[in-house]
Amino acid sequence: MKVFGQQILPDIEPQDAPIGRQILRGYSQCAFQAHELTALFFIAGVSIYNWQMAMFYILSVIIATFVARAMNADKVLLGLGLFGFNAGLMGLALGNFFVLSVFLWIWVPILAAAVTVVAVLLSRHLPFPFLAAPFILMFWIIWPLTGIMGIEPIDLGDFPDGKVAILKATVLALGSTLFASNLIVGILFFIGVALSNWRHAVVAVIGAALAATVAAYVGTSAGEAINSGFIGFNAVLAAIATFALVGQDLRLACLAAFFATWFFSMVNKYWPEPALASGFVFAVWLIMLLSYVNPRFSGEKSQGKEIKT
């Protein structure tokens, strides 16, 4: 592992990564990185925002790693920390959307394990990246069952209207990828990603700024919904994921950010449950579909990467 060209940890092939590095990379995968130092910045940011949520985040990724290992999951994906991604999002979301209780502490490890089982199974059978789909589907399944489960959703209320502040909205969108709408968290997120890959950090900022600008121009969202990063975090994830998985092309990353903002607004408007990261997932899948169709349409060979999982 290198930071700005300086060797911090010995380089190692993903399939040879020890369990400690698998776990740490699981935290960093919340921004599609496989970098141990990035993980520490993410954990620090969430801890500043809400220490209980940080505990759920930490616990969920640890459980996910052990479950994936027990299921003999793909060693490369394990070494990259990819099975910590969905579980980490589940822990963050549970800490963000529900009142802290004994039952919540019980359900966090159960759901972290369950979403990991789904992710491992999908990794064996899907011919394209499942991204955050296991987390989203699992969360949507439990949302109407919370009364039975003994956990209580937090009444987050509606966002008030207000003047859009593009810079604030951009930084908070970065932090909101970790369900932590906070300026310090946004800065820590940017630094953490930059330590792993400075290009990804720039792409993340571009995605966040595009989402905030488009939402402010269209005027369909409350000003504080934009300023809080709520509107922009799907664009951040979509831009990074597209740049990392489809092709290192700023044009594709920007297009993914636009698609993610549109999809998220549609799901948020018409779906009766939290939209979560659905906009980013649908956007990246659409970009991948277009990348597959485009060479057949244009007669040119695709420049995108073919990714199975």
Question: How far is residue 74's CA from residue 185's CA, in Å, rounded to a whole number?
Answer: 32
How does DSSP classify residue 158? P
Least confident of 115-119, 212-216, 283-287: 212-216
pLDDT for the residue numbered 216 = 87
Check whether 22 has a pLDDT greater than 70. Answer: yes
pLDDT for the residue numbered 10 = 76
Question: How far is residue 14's CA from residue 261's CA, in Å, rounded to a whole number?
Answer: 33
Question: How far is residue 113's CA from residue 220's CA, in Å, rounded to a whole number?
Answer: 38
Question: How far is residue 135's CA from residue 142's CA, in Å, rounded to a whole number?
Answer: 11
Check whether 91 has a pLDDT greater than 60. Answer: yes
Please give the structure tokens belonging to residue 80.
């990259």
Question: How far is residue 15's CA from residue 77's CA, in Å, rounded to a whole number?
Answer: 8
Helix 250-270 vs helix 198-218: crossing angle, to nearest 10: 50
Question: How far is residue 174's CA from residue 16's CA, in Å, rounded to a whole number?
Answer: 31
Q: What pLDDT, in 10s, does the model give residues 177-230?
A: 999 999 999 999 999 999 999 999 999 999 999 999 998 887 666 788 899 999
Check whether 242 has a pLDDT greater than 70. Answer: yes
pLDDT for the residue numbered 309 = 43
Q: What pLDDT, in 10s, does the model give residues 48-89?
A: 999 999 999 999 999 999 999 999 999 999 999 999 999 999
pLDDT for the residue numbered 2 = 65
Question: How far is residue 197's CA from residue 3's CA, in Å, rounded to a whole number?
Answer: 9
Tell me which H or E stretch contains 131: none
Residue 281 and residue 139 in contact, taking contact as beta carbons nearer than 8 Å? no
Burial of 45-74, coded b for 16+ CB within 10 Å and e otherwise, reads bbbebbeebbbbbbbbbbbbbbbbeebebb
> Which residue matches tokens 């502040």?
165
pLDDT more than 70, % of the chain: 94
> Per-residue confidence at 264, pLDDT binned at 50, 70, 90?
very high
Check whether 6 has a pLDDT greater than 70. Answer: no
Question: Which alpha helices (H) appear in 71-182, and where do they start and end?
Answer: 75-80, 83-97, 102-125, 133-142, 146-149, 166-176
Check whether 302 has a pLDDT greater than 70. Answer: no
> Cβ atoms within 10 A of the Cβ of 220, count?
11
Domains and CATH numbers, the chain: 12-149 (1.10.3430.10), 166-298 (1.10.3430.10)
> Per-residue confidence at 308, pLDDT binned at 50, 70, 90?
very low
